[in-house]
Amino acid sequence: MNRLTESEKLTSPYVKQKRNPFFSSGFLILAGGCLALFLFLLFESESGDSSTSQPTASEASVQKSEKPKRKELIAYLQKHPEDEFAHFQLGELIQNRAPFQALENFSHVTERHPRYYEAVEAIAKIAQEQGLDDRATSALFILVREFPEERRYQKSMAELLFQQGRSNRALRYARRNIELGGEAADDYLLVAEILKQAGRTLEMTGPLKQALYQEPGLYDAHLNLAYAALYSGDLETATREAKWCLAEKPESTTALRYLAIINRNQGNIEKSISYIDQALSTDPEDLESLLLKADLLIYQRKGEQAYQLLKPLYANQQTDRRYISALARAAGLAGKREEALELQQLNQRLIKEEDLRPSSLQSESVQKRQAGRK
Amino acid sequence: MTSFLFNRSIRSVCLAALCGLYVLLLFSQNCSLCAEEKPSAISFEDVTNAAQINFQHRSPVTVKRHLHLMMGSGVGWVDFDRDGFPDLFCAQGEEWSTVKRKQSHPIDVALSNRLYWNRRNGQFQDVTAVSGLTVMNYSMGIAVGDYNHDGFDDLYVSAFGRNLLYCNQGDGTFSQVSSLAHVDDPGYGASCTWADINGDGLLDLYVVNYLEIDREHYPICSRRVDGARVYFICHPRYVPGQYDVVYLNLGNGSFLDVSQKAGLHSEPARQGLGVFAADYDQDGDIDLYIANDSVANQLWINNGQGVFTDQALVAGLAFNRSGDREAGMGLAGADYNGDGEVDLFVTNYFGETNTLYRNEGGLFFLDVTDETGLAAPSHARLGFGTSFLDVNNDGWEDLFVTNGHVHDRLSQLGKSEPYEQEPQLFLNQAGTRFMDISEQSGEFFKTKQVGRGCAVADFNQDGLVDLAVSHLNERLVLLENRSEQIHKSVALQLVGTTSNRSAIGAVVEVVSDSRKLIRLRKGSSSYLSADEAWITCGLGDCRSEVTVKVRWPGGKTENWSGLQPGGRYTLIEGTSVLPDQSQTQP
């Protein structure tokens, strides 16, 4: 599933050109280039030859045709740096090849200009693509505030905040997207995934069922439903969904792992081990499967085996607290008490590092109040 | 012809008998199947009104959501008149605005802690006023023990504010001796327990403190929600914790605060709520496990002299299996799997699991919550009080959890975390897994409440353990165990002579047929609560007499044999050579 499709379309420069014809001096050059491209493509299609080199040739042709216009716009802007529309045009022209420069050009378009919101939208798109999250967020925030009924902005904002791990805010926008009529399976799936990230697993079932109602064969929704059901203790649903996923993708280590967890939670430890061994035969380096296998061995009091399974991963996983904790448990059970203590202390240090990051648990406002004051 | 008829009638009779036998066999098989498939034989009935208990907890929320008003108060069983029937002590809360008013108003008993005398007929009588226990404060934890060795159980009550020690006068009244005894810690007290920490035969006190707040320095937390300021209780991780306190019993009616000397200040103060005292390293002294709210739990290991070091990290008890600290609230300890070791169960926050730590011996514990079936049922609950109790006397310790959130307005943040939640009962399946039998165990388990404390006692001496459950700003509930009595129990009261008189910290091994059952004499339990002093031990299929081995605090052991299922026995330290002196109460 590609949840960025819609926003990518929205920020496509070609779509905007159709909507907003230009009347600058460079337009004729661009139009000439396009005409040449059109004739070239027409000729090629008539000839029936569809060799793989064609797209490259056409791209080169477009690039070639853009070049004079770009030069012209740059020259023009050197003389008229205040011309917002020229900045906008140049931004549109170069955003695929020189996104950072385009970002700079779009930034020159001010609120007074009629193309301002298109520029903001382009900024949001480029910033998102280039990993400039703060820039993208502030751009999308402008759009969401100006067009509160525009679903696409709500959804983009939700996706962006979700990627940043800001689940609570992401959820607000994802839900607003649905309120505004977003009824596609991926709209609901987005809500479910944000809830998962927020640790609100129990609330995932509703949106997942909606997603599956819209698109019964949506694999990710089935897999997430298996997870949500497993978490809430509905092992029947969890089993059904995990098995559906496994039938669709027999190599799915996630589905195999879920089945292992289901069996573990039902007390079927041996069956659980057999599922996790299947997962590990598919992907011997899957950390989640290795951790689960170690967990099962630890439960069976096979501390040394668990330790041998986990220890080789230390170099790469020494900042993963779940790994460190599992290794500590294995070491403790295997009688390596000193090492177990060191690992637990390492876990403690990692927790302290985590605590330095801002947390949603913190109050926005803490006041010290005297008794009796209202 | 006659012979033919005779033979035929014999054949008919035989056939009928065979058919009958078959039907009987089928019936018995069906019954055994029914017995396996119907754990609904477990049943608890809310008998609060019938028992004439009318305790209503008072802790109304404020607009600014003062944190301590959400934490509730405990409940404790204390046989204050020594008639063998446990009486009920209910800790009371207090309105935020009461403090100013109470100086000018007479004390209203309804707003006080309450003592209910067990009338031995299933009913209780409020004796708060005559017993001298009337008080106006926000009481929290309860510890019951005979600290002055006069034979009568005394009461320690922690509070949001100064803690209280009530000395049982033996005549039905108590005198408040907190400041005289130097145990009136002014901190934010949570759970507390009596335990002989230095092995001198006297009960010392351990008081868990929660947060570094008082009425004069109170954090108020809020968020902007849809343009409006909404107040929530502050997250405890961002409010400084307060050091716990250890009071050493000097044997002359007074105590000495030895917290620092005992090593409690060797690491930063934490946000403690629960405590469970036991000899975790089996070296003959009492150690303490502390449940801390949203920070690492502590395991204070005693060097025998009352000096502690925290070994929770190496013991695997600081964090859960994922290496996460959890919001520890209540604690319960028991040998759930019959391997002779004390396992621990900690109640935690919504979205976390309650966590069961299996004792592997050698001071090492493993989180086995998922494997025992306890993880999923606790994800959508915020657990507080919890007790191990053998509800059907099958010899396996089952598990009760009372739940309820600390936030009452999460819906305003778009969260689906209910404030009121159903309590839960889990049946121990031969020490391997726990099965959630809440829905089949009575109406109480279908009712959403804001649960806090709970305490176990066989208040009607019918051989089945009952429960008292405290709720936040709601009425206390007395649950009578009306489960089908397939198995019998034996009830034991321990009396220390050289060790502390309440025998707190003693371990009982009940040996029956092929099983060895371990039971503990606890100083406190659950969240802010105290169980009955009598130990009721379910005997499973055992119908014959049992042997009891008592390991007294300090390590000395004694054996009693010939104890009958269904009997009640008082075992006095140093008297096992004369088993006929054991008092039998049919």
pLDDT at A260 over 70: yes
Of A99, A120, A146, which residue constitutes the final position of a domain? A146
B216 vs A188: which has the higher pLDDT = A188
pLDDT at A27 over 80: no
Query: Do the Cβ atoms of A267 and B232 come within 8 Å?
Result: no
The residues, ordered by sequence, that sit 6+ positions from A103 with a Cβ below 8 Å of its Cβ are: A91, A123, A126, A127, A130, A132, A135
Residue B272 Cα, gap to closest chain A Cα (Å)? 18
Spatial strand order of the sheet with B298-302 comes to: B272-278, B287-292, B298-302, B308-310
Query: Looking at the complex, does the CB of residue B227 fall below 8 Å from at least one CB of chain A?
Result: no
A241 vs A134: which has the higher pLDDT = A241
Residue A43 Cα, gap to closest chain B Cα (Å)? 59
Could you give the CA distance from residue B92 to residue B76 in angstroms, rounded to a whole number? 12
Could you give the CA distance from residue A161 to residue B566 in angstroms, rounded to a whole number? 64
pLDDT at B196 over 90: yes
Could you give the CA distance from residue B328 to residue B292 in angstroms, rounded to a whole number? 5
Of A146, A173, A195, which residue constitutes the final position of a domain? A146
Could you give the CA distance from residue A368 to residue B240 in angstroms, rounded to a whole number? 13
Chain B residues touching residue A333 (CB < 8 angstroms): 360, 364, 366
Q: Which residue of B has its CA nearest to A341?
A: B314
- Angle at the Cα of B170 from the Cα atoms of B166 and B176, rounded to 5 degrees: 20
The CATH number given to whatever domain includes residue A86 is: 1.25.40
What is the distance in angstroms between the CA of the first residue and the CA of the last residue of chain B? 63
What is the distance in angstroms between the CA of the first residue and the CA of the last residue of chain A? 53
Of B440, B359, B456, B348, the C-alpha closest to B400 is B456
pLDDT on residue A60: 53
pLDDT on residue B18: 46
The residues, ordered by sequence, that sit 6+ positions from A178 with a Cβ below 8 Å of its Cβ are: A187, A188, A191
* Backbone φ and ψ of B429, nearest 5°: -95, 85
Residue A150 Cα, gap to closest chain B Cα (Å)? 20
Residue A131 lies in a domain: yes
CB atoms within 10 A of CB A73: 24
The single residue listed with the structure tokens 């009955």 is B532
B215, B314, B360 ranked by CB distance to A344: nearest: B314
Of B553, B524, B68, the C-alpha closest to B290 is B524
**Mean pLDDT along residues A55-66:** 54
Q: Which residue of B has its CA nearest to A200?
A: B351
CA A70 from centre of chain: 33
Residue B371 Cα, gap to closest chain A Cα (Å)? 5
Identify from A296, A366, A373, A374 which residue to disrupt to test chain B contact, counting B C-beta atoms within 10 A and taking the largest count: A366
Pair A90, A105: CB distance under 8 Å: yes
Residue A262 lies in a domain: no
Q: What is the dihedral sign for C-alpha B20, B22, B27, B28?
A: positive
- Angle at the Cα of A255 from the Cα atoms of A252 and A261, rounded to 5 degrees: 140
Chain A residues touching residue B364 (CB < 8 angstroms): 332-333, 337
Of B298, B299, B355, the C-alpha closest to B326 is B355
**Mean pLDDT along residues A337-357:** 92
Q: Considering its fold, how many domains does chain A have in total?
A: 2
A111 vs B480: which has the higher pLDDT = B480
Contacts 24+ apart (CB under 8 A), A104-109: A108/A84, A109/A84, A109/A85
**Mean pLDDT along residues A346-360:** 83
Of A146, A167, A191, which residue constitutes the final position of a domain? A146
Could you give the CA distance from residue B309 to residue B315 in angstroms, rounded to a whole number? 12
Range of the domain at A297: 285-357
Query: Do the Cβ atoms of A344 and B319 come within 8 Å?
Result: yes
Query: Do the Cβ atoms of A202 and B368 come within 8 Å?
Result: no
pLDDT digits (tens, 9 = 90+) for B22-51: 444 434 443 333 334 444 489 999 999 999
B224, B321, B370 ranked by CB distance to A364: nearest: B224
Q: Which residue of B has its CA nearest to A324?
A: B323
pLDDT on residue B102: 60
Tell me the C-alpha to C-alpha distance, in Å, between residue B30 and each of B18, B234, B392, B548.
Answer: 18, 56, 21, 36
Chain B residues touching residue A276 (CB < 8 angstroms): none
**Mean pLDDT, all residues of chain A:** 82
Residue A255 lies in a domain: no
**Mean pLDDT along residues A21-31:** 42
pLDDT on residue A362: 56
**The two three-digit tokens of residue B52, written as one number:** 């004439």
Residue A312 Cα, gap to closest chain B Cα (Å)? 19
Residue A47 lies in a domain: no
Chain B residues touching residue A332 (CB < 8 angstroms): 314, 316, 364
Could you give the CA distance from residue B47 to residue B60 in angstroms, rounded to a whole number? 25
Confidence band, pLDDT 50/70/90 cuts, at residue B215: confident
The residues, ordered by sequence, that sit 6+ positions from B576 with a Cβ below 8 Å of its Cβ are: B550, B558, B559, B560
B216, B364, B371 ranked by CB distance to A370: nearest: B216
- Position A76, amino acid: Y
The CATH number given to whatever domain includes residue A334 is: 1.25.40.10
A200, A333, A367 ranked by CB distance to B220: nearest: A367
A202, A325, A364 ranked by CB distance to B379: nearest: A202
Could you give the CA distance from residue A299 to residue A279 in angstroms, rounded to a whole number? 19
* Backbone φ and ψ of A335, nearest 5°: 85, 5
Could you give the CA distance from residue B407 to residue A199 in angstroms, rounded to a whole number? 17
Residue A113 lies in a domain: yes
Confidence band, pLDDT 50/70/90 cuts, at residue B508: very high
pLDDT at A23 over 80: no
pLDDT on residue B363: 96
Query: Do the Cβ atoms of B220 and A368 come within 8 Å?
Result: yes
Residue B238 Cα, gap to closest chain A Cα (Å)? 7
Q: What is the DSSP string of B77-137?
A: EE-TT-SSSPEEEE-----TTHHHHHTTSPPPGGGS-EEEEE-SSS-EEE-HHHHT----S
A12 vs B353: which has the higher pLDDT = B353
Query: Looking at the complex, does the CB of residue B215 fall below 8 Å from at least one CB of chain A?
Result: yes
**Mean pLDDT along residues A2-18:** 30
Residue A317 lies in a domain: yes
* Backbone φ and ψ of B307, nearest 5°: -110, 130
Label the pairing between strands B568-572 and B489-495. parallel
A202, A344, A368 ranked by CB distance to B219: nearest: A368
- Position B15, amino acid: L
B99, B229, B316 ranked by CB distance to A371: nearest: B99
Could you give the CA distance from residue B86 to residue B456 in angstroms, rounded to a whole number? 10
pLDDT at A16 over 50: no
pLDDT on residue B412: 81
Residue A205 Cα, gap to closest chain B Cα (Å)? 12
Query: Do the Cβ atoms of A264 and B370 come within 8 Å?
Result: yes
Residue B536 Cα, gap to closest chain A Cα (Å)? 29
pLDDT on residue B101: 60
**Mean pLDDT along residues B411-425:** 90
Query: Do the Cβ atoms of A203 and B416 come within 8 Å?
Result: yes
Task: List the single range of A25-39, A278-292, B161-175, B414-428 with lowest mean pLDDT.
Answer: A25-39
pLDDT on residue B19: 42
CB atoms within 10 A of CB B11: 10
Chain B residues touching residue A171 (CB < 8 angstroms): 414
Chain A residues touching residue B229 (CB < 8 angstroms): 365
pLDDT digits (tens, 9 = 90+) for B305-322: 999 999 999 999 999 999
Query: Looking at the complex, does the CB of residue B325 fall below 8 Å from at least one CB of chain A?
Result: yes
CB atoms within 10 A of CB B43: 18
ipTM: 0.86
- Three-state helix/strand/coil letters over A34-73: HHHHHHHHHHHHHHCCCCCCHHHHHHHHHHHHHHHHHHHH
pLDDT at B261 over 70: yes
pLDDT on residue B31: 36
Residue A220 lies in a domain: no
- Three-state helix/strand/coil letters over chain A: CCCCHHHHHHCCHHHHHHHCCCCCCCHHHHHHHHHHHHHHHHHHHHHCCCCCCHHHHHHHHHHHHHHHHHHHHHHHHHHCCCCHHHHHHHHHHHCCCCHHHHHHHHHCCCCCCCCHHHHHHHHHHHHHHCCCHHHHHHHHHHHHHHCCCCHHHHHHHHHHHHHCCCHHHHHHHHHHHHHCCCCCHHHHHHHHHHHHHCCCHHHCHHHHHHHHHHCCCCHHHHHHHHHHHHHHCCHHHHHHHHHHHHHHCCCCHHHHHHHHHHHHHCCCHHHHHHHHHHHHHHCCCCHHHHHHHHHHHHHCCCHHHHHHHHHHHHHHHCCCHHHHHHHHHHHHHCCCHHHHHHHHHHHHHHHHHHHHCCCCCCCCEEEEECCCCC
pLDDT on residue A364: 56
**Mean pLDDT along residues B97-115:** 78
pLDDT on residue A319: 95
**Mean pLDDT, all residues of chain B:** 90
Residue A264 lies in a domain: no
Confidence band, pLDDT 50/70/90 cuts, at residue B4: very low
pLDDT at A248 over 90: yes
pLDDT on residue B224: 85
The residues, ordered by sequence, that sit 6+ positions from B54 with a Cβ below 8 Å of its Cβ are: B48, B126, B475
Percent of chain A scoring above 70 in pLDDT = 78
Query: Do the Cβ atoms of B234 and A363 come within 8 Å?
Result: yes
Chain A residues touching residue B367 (CB < 8 angstroms): 329
**Mean pLDDT along residues B71-98:** 95
A374 vs B547: which has the higher pLDDT = B547
Residue A246 Cα, gap to closest chain B Cα (Å)? 23
A54 vs B215: which has the higher pLDDT = B215
Identify from B238, B313, B326, B405 which residue to disrupt to test chain A contact, counting A C-beta atoms within 10 A and taking the largest count: B313
Could you give the CA distance from residue A337 to residue A318 in angstroms, rounded to a whole number? 18
Query: Do the Cβ atoms of A329 and B235 come within 8 Å?
Result: no
Confidence band, pLDDT 50/70/90 cuts, at residue A257: very high
Residue A4 Cα, gap to closest chain B Cα (Å)? 26
A171, A201, A298 ranked by CB distance to B366: nearest: A298
Query: Do the Cβ atoms of B221 and A366 come within 8 Å?
Result: yes
B97, B323, B366 ranked by CB distance to A321: nearest: B323
Confidence band, pLDDT 50/70/90 cuts, at residue B432: very high
pLDDT on residue A66: 75
